[in-house]
Structure 1
Amino acid sequence: MGEAPVVVAARRTPIGTAGHAFRDLTVDRLAAPVIAAVLADLDGTAEPAGSAGPAGARVDDVVLGNCMGPGGNVARVAALRAGLGHEVPGLTVDRQCGSGLAAILVAGQAVRAGEAELVVAGGAESASTAPLRTFRGAETPYPRAPFAPDGHPDPDMGPAAEALAAAYGVDRERQDAYARRSHARALAARQAGRFAAEIVPIEGRSDDQRPRPLRAASLARLPAAFVAEGTVTAGNSSPVSDGAAAVAIVPERLRAGRPGLRLVAGAVVGCDPALPGWGPVPAIRRVLSRTGVDLERVAAVEIVEAFAAQVLAVTDALGLDPLGADDGRVCADGGALALGHPWGATGAVVVTRLFGRLVRAAAPPGTLGLAAAAVGGGLGVAALFEVA
């Protein structure tokens, strides 16, 4: 068996709202700059590192999550566009909104097994340029692929968030309060420069497009977006977005004293497809059970904020209170509600945020961080990291 995998570099693009900032950039053009940036971070240059990593190690693979791209193995196309050699392959992972985090787990497994020594992993999504798909013989494109077959629940994500809010008693007032918190935290983090080191500027843009000041009165006036008389609105939901994020993963011996995030354990689980937002709960519980770690020991938690209702249902179940006692632990610099939600990338964005909150902030070795995402169709993805 190989050694523990360690994330030693992490970068992301600014996140743009679909149809706006990056509306003309294909998914490989979003992914390539962050692949190049994490390798440049490893060799200490301002230029792409080609196929080489720390101490001359070769890049063994590029593993990227993607949901709605054109096919053709997005990871391989992005690796070539980033300037990596022809010998570097690529693997594209589709676990929908968990794809970016799942890709990091796949890369970590290869390193832990001793089958790879340097893997770039993450995710990318260009909702703006994603192809429209049509069933053979149909006259119009279909809105999305099925998340479950006939005979199983297969709700769209908005109605599913409404169902989760109703099932677990997450009211409109708390959802709006959490949305305001996410935007306020993201704006404060930007002002303090906490995003600067992780963002790779794209076409001259170095800031996320979406974060803005939100007023309680303005949010309260918004109508329900998905279900009549519901609680989920455009204001407490994440937008459809474009963006990419990537990390570099090496075994412990190649870390060579470089600070990083050691991947302790990961889990992917299924749950009721009628309530897909619940997925992080069993995934996190499985990771904690496998490692014997109590959640109270985890200093930083990053959950993909698809909907405020979903985050609050999950944190309630886990005994976390992001609007109170755990304000500084859960998505402390805001999340997808404020930054945006590029589906295939968003699971890698939360790992990049953990890297910024813990490694770049010089947290003590052994400090624990948790990343998690819910997935359409009824899945949860989670990973536990510790500062190395």
Structure 2
Amino acid sequence: MPEVAVLAAGRSAFTGRSRAQAGRTDDQLAGPLLAGLTAAAGISSPERAVDGVILGSCTGPGGNVGRRAALAAGFGLDCPGWSVDAQCGSGMLAVQQAADRIRLDGGLIAAGGVESPSTAPERRIDGVAYRQAPMVPRGFPDPDLVHAAEDLARVRGITRQRQDALAERSHRLALEHADLLAAERLDGSGIADDGPRAVTARLLARFAPLVPEEPMGDGSQTEHALAGRPAAVERRSAPAQSRPGFGSVTPGNTARIADGAAALLLGPAPRGVDGQPARPHTLVRAGILAGGDPALPGAAPTGALRRLLRRAGIGLDRLGALEIVEAFSAQVLATLDDLDLADGERIDPRVNAAGGALALGHPWGASGAAVLVRLHHRLLACPPGTLGAAACAIGGGMAAAVLLQRGD
């Protein structure tokens, strides 16, 4: 069974919904990126080299974006492609599936995620548009994810000040690591990322909360999206009315919705030839998809990371780098508190050392792949053997995590 390596990893621009990439469909975002991956790996004839494409997405039009992107990338008519949906973990799950397939059959597979909220079709129930699909069956809590982040902050005692401080850290570190962010870009579009930006604690403090501190009494936090009443669907889809001075989750400490794609090219681990070292790469050592409480989906990465480390037989101290999708500051801080990686506003320097989604944006189905792209590039700057992990929370009460290692 071959060791599975990441041979190249990159992403497109991440731009806010209805902004610079508003006219680009999901295959138009992913196709050029996949072509860029093969070029970065030194593959001159991708139409004969790539054995498959797996892409995650959660709001696209359907029609199998994996296959559409494979064709758009010029991989040839014989290259199959398929798609997965695990919400924000879609791209990370696609990478895990690719690694499993390579262990069985070998070959080269491009895997990751793409999301184009700008071009996603409007979805309706009984003629009423809704924003978030149901993630659990009736009888289980199915909160709007903003409400879920607010609930998590309240249950864990995570203050607005800490959430804003994490957002400021994300932007600041991303600005400080502009070269790393530039190295991730393989789409060739020339479109600039929307972020990061120079933000301050004073600026972040000006944002009003997204939800009230106390429930409004209309069931909006637990009403199922398919309750059968149009009014209920409207409540689940629309932001709650904000009460000044209440709540802690704000637009400033929440990742903005973004259009974008991220992907990795995986294959058997390369070997040096004629005494020359192998092309720089990372190895996929383990992967986890874990369940948790659907009422607090932001808490699930803790369990996923712990299971990942147990499977690998290592402790947190062995990690040289850790990446977590920054959908909400509250969600990241809950995991860091659980793992003793945060002390108030001080964050372990191994965590999201070049910023994250709070600075760049959150293209849902691509974000799990985006943190793996970031982890890959961080590990390439480390000594051989260095380990790193990435994790993301998933709506419906799940989380995914992957362990990479710098190859020799």
TM over 0.5: yes
CA distance in 1, matches of 2:114, 2:343: 28
1:293 is the counterpart of 2:310: no
Report SS of the residue matched to 1:222: coil
SS at match of 1:23: coil
Assess if the C-alpha contact under 8 Å between 2:33 and 2:188 holds in 1: no
Q: CA separation of 1:300/1:3 partners in 2, compared to 1, >3 Å: closer, same or farther?
A: same
**Equivalent position of 1:125 in the other structure:** 115
Deviations 1:216-268 (A, max 9, x none): 12211221112341110010000011100111111125686122111111100
SS of structure 1 residue aligned to 2:121: coil
Q: Does 1:212 align with 2:197?
A: yes
Amino acid at match of 1:133: R
TM-superposed deviation, 1:213: 1.0
C-alpha contact 2:165 2:345 (8 A) present in aligned 1: no
Which position in structure 2 is the counterpart of 1:159?
Answer: 147
- Cα pair 1:14 1:200 within 8 Å, conserved: no
Q: Secondary structure at the match of 1:19?
A: coil
- Alignment-mate amino acid for residue 196 of structure 1: A
Give, in angstroms, the shift of residue 325 of structure 1.
Answer: 6.3
User: Counterpart in 2 of 1:55?
Assistant: none
Q: Distance in 1 between matches of 2:189 and 2:315?
A: 43
Q: Structure 2: how far apart are the matches of 1:28 and 1:322?
A: 42
The equivalent of 2:5 in structure 1 is 6
Tell me the equivalent position of 2:230.
none
Match of 2:252 among 205, 229, 235: 235
Q: Which runs of 5+ in 1 are unaligned?
A: 53-57
Structure 1 contact 178–323 (Cα < 8 Å) conserved: no
Shift of 1:116: 3.2
1:169 Cα deviation from its structure 2 partner: 1.4
Q: 2:70 aligns with which of 48, 58, 79?
A: 79
AA at the equivalent of 1:7? V
Q: Does 1:246 align with 2:248?
A: no
Q: CA deviation at 1:320?
A: 0.8
State the distance in 2 between where 1:339 and 1:304 align.
11
Q: 1:276 aligns with which of 273, 290, 297?
A: 297
- Displacement of 1:323 after TM fit? 6.9
Equivalent-residue separation in structure 2 for 1:117 and 1:200 (angstroms) = 22
TM-score by length of 1: 0.92
Residue of structure 1 equivalent to 2:234: none
Higher mean Cα deviation, 318-327 or 138-147?
A: 318-327
What's the counterpart of residue 353 of structure 2? Answer: 332
Alignment of 1:23-102 (within 5 A): 23-43=22-42, 49-52=45-48, 58-102=49-93
What is the rounded CA distance, in whole Å, between the counterparts of 2:174 and 2:264 in structure 1? 21
Aligned length: 371
Report the more deviating stretch, 261-270 or 222-231.
222-231
> Normalised by the size of structure 2, how large is the TM-score?
0.88
Shift of 1:155: 0.3
User: What is residue 142 of structure 1 aligned with on the other side?
Assistant: 130
Aligned partner of 2:147: which letter?
A: P
Partner Cα separation in structure 2 for residue 322 and residue 357 of structure 1: 24
| 1:167-186 map, 5 Å | 167-186=155-174
Instruction: Select between 162-171 and 250-259 the one with higher mean Cα deviation.
Output: 250-259
Partner of 2:317, secondary structure, is helix
CA drift at 1:60: 1.4
Counterpart of 2:46 in 1: which secondary structure? coil
User: What does the per-residue CA deviation read over 1:136-158, in whole Å, with 9 as the maximum and x for residues that have no partner?
Assistant: xx233222210111100000110
Cα 1:209/1:202, change in 2 over 3 Å: farther
Inter-partner Cα distance in structure 2 for 1:65 and 1:44: 24
**Where do 5+ consecutive residues of structure 2 fail to align?**
214-245
Q: Counterpart of 2:401?
A: 382
Supply the distance in 1 between the matched residues of 2:307 and 2:55 (Cα, whole angstroms).
Answer: 24
What SS does the aligned partner of 1:43 have? coil
Answer whether contact 1:322 1:328 (CA < 8 A) is retained. no
Contact 2:36 2:188 survives alignment (8 Å): no
For the residue of structure 1 that corresponds to 2:251, the secondary structure is: coil
Amino acid at match of 2:18: G
Q: CA distance change for structure 1 residues 179 and 325 in 2, over 3 Å: closer, same or farther?
A: closer
The CA deviation at 1:200 is 2.6
Q: Summarize the Cα distance change of 1:297–1:108 in structure 2 as closer, same or farther, 3 Å threshold.
A: same
Look up the equivalent residue of 1:32 and give its one-letter code.
Answer: G
Contact 1:246–1:348 (CA under 8 A) maintained in structure 2:
yes
Distance change >3 Å, CA 254–CA 248, structure 1 → 2: farther
Please give the alpha-carbon distance, in whole angstroms, between the structure 1 residues aligned to 2:255 and 2:344.
18
Distance 2:316 2:184 in 1: 26
Matched, 1:344 2:344: no
Q: 2:331 aligns with which of 285, 310, 323?
A: 310
Query: Identity of counterpart residues, as a percentage?
Result: 47
Larger Rg: 2
CA contact (8 A) 2:283 2:406 kept: yes
* 3-state DSSP of counterpart to 2:322: strand
Deviation at 1:100, TM superposition (A): 0.6
Moved more, 363-372 or 140-149: 140-149
Structure 1 equivalent of residue 281 of structure 2: 260
Give the whole-Å Cα distance in 2 for the aligned partners of 1:350 and 1:88. Answer: 26
Distance 2:124 2:371 in 1: 32
Report if aligned partners of 2:33, 2:187 keep a CA contact under 8 Å in 1: no
